[in-house]
């Protein structure tokens, strides 16, 4: 049973039999973290990448089955070219290191979003990573890259329409249910997140998993992502376990 300690005494503990299956996190606050320290914004992204490594490892160690992180949105292309280059370079570095360690760590990785606009080198690395991941049954880390939930939903609608075009008669068209529609999303085969965490003080989803988080629990914290640690994740889990999830029922 995981315990949280203050300076002098135990505060609270989470229950291992009630862990969320799927945790999703918006990686927010890297730039502000750097600015507060009179550092370039790119230094914040480097620090945030290390935090991601640590939190992903912690999730694996405590038994979280799925971790989804919002790494780069469809709107992030509006940032400076230098900042975008640093983010992509960090991702490339992380993937190279992950490929070297995947056999040992048994961590599966999947990418959600439109990766066709990325460099061929990065696309090849992503394909190699996902292919190697098929061998493992451990925790699955989903990285949302060039991802926007509205774009994902529009993409799913187009995929459904393309499917309908292959039907020879109207009676062949399958009914469009929530379950059927979900199969056209980037996140198909991944359970919806139980807990969505947003560090950085903002209280909005920012186009992240809008369909999937319909009944998720939300945890907001002022802590900037590079300062987010295992104890902060513990606090989020404790709060999650204290809530009653009724899914519209009583």
Looking up tokens 């914040």, which residue turns up? Answer: 44
- Kindly state the tokens that stand for 180: 């059927």
Asked if 28 is an active-site residue, the reply is yes
Rounded CA separation 221/233 (Å)? 10
Annotated active-site residue in 17, 28, 194, 227: 28
Residues in CB range of 39: below 8 A, 6 or more apart: none
Annotated active-site residue in 76, 114, 163, 227: 76
Rounded CA separation 148/152 (Å)? 6
- Find the DSSP H helices in the chain: 30-36, 41-62, 81-105, 120-133, 149-165, 178-182, 230-241
Looking up tokens 């694996």, which residue turns up? Answer: 60
CA distances from 174 to 166, 178, 190, 211 (A): 11, 12, 22, 21
Rounded CA separation 51/53 (Å)? 5
Contact 110, 136 (CB under 8 A): no
Residues classed as catalytic: 28, 76
């Amino acid at each position: 049973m995981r315990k949280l300690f203050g300076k002098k005494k135990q505060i609270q503990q989470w229950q291992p039999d009630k862990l969320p299956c799927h945790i999703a996190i918006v990686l927010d606050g890297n730039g502000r973290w750097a600015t507060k320290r009179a550092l370039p914004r790119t230094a914040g992204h480097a620090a945030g990448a290390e935090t991601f490594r640590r939190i992903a490892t912690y999730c694996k160690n405590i038994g979280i089955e799925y971790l989804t992180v919002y790494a780069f949105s469809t709107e992030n292309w509006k940032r400076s070219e230098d900042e975008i280059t640093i983010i992509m370079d960090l991702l490339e570095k992380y993937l190279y290191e992950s490929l070297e360690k995947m056999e040992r760590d048994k961590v599966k990785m999947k990418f959600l979003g439109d990766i066709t606009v990325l460099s061929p080198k990065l696309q090849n690395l992503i394909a190699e990573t996902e292919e190697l991941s098929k061998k493992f049954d451990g925790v699955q880390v989903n990285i949302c890259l060039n991802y926007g939930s509205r774009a994902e939903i529009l993409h799913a609608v187009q995929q459904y329409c393309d499917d309908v075009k292959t039907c020879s008669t109207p009676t062949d068209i399958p009914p469009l249910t929530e379950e059927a529609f979900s199969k056209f999303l980037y996140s198909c085969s991944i359970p919806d997140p139980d807990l969505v965490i947003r560090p950085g003080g903002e209280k909005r989803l920012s186009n992240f998993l809008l369909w999937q988080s319909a009944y998720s629990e939300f945890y907001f914290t002022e802590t900037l992502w590079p300062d987010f640690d295992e104890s902060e994740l513990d606090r989020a889990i404790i709060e999650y376990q204290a809530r009653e999830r009724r899914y519209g029922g009583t």
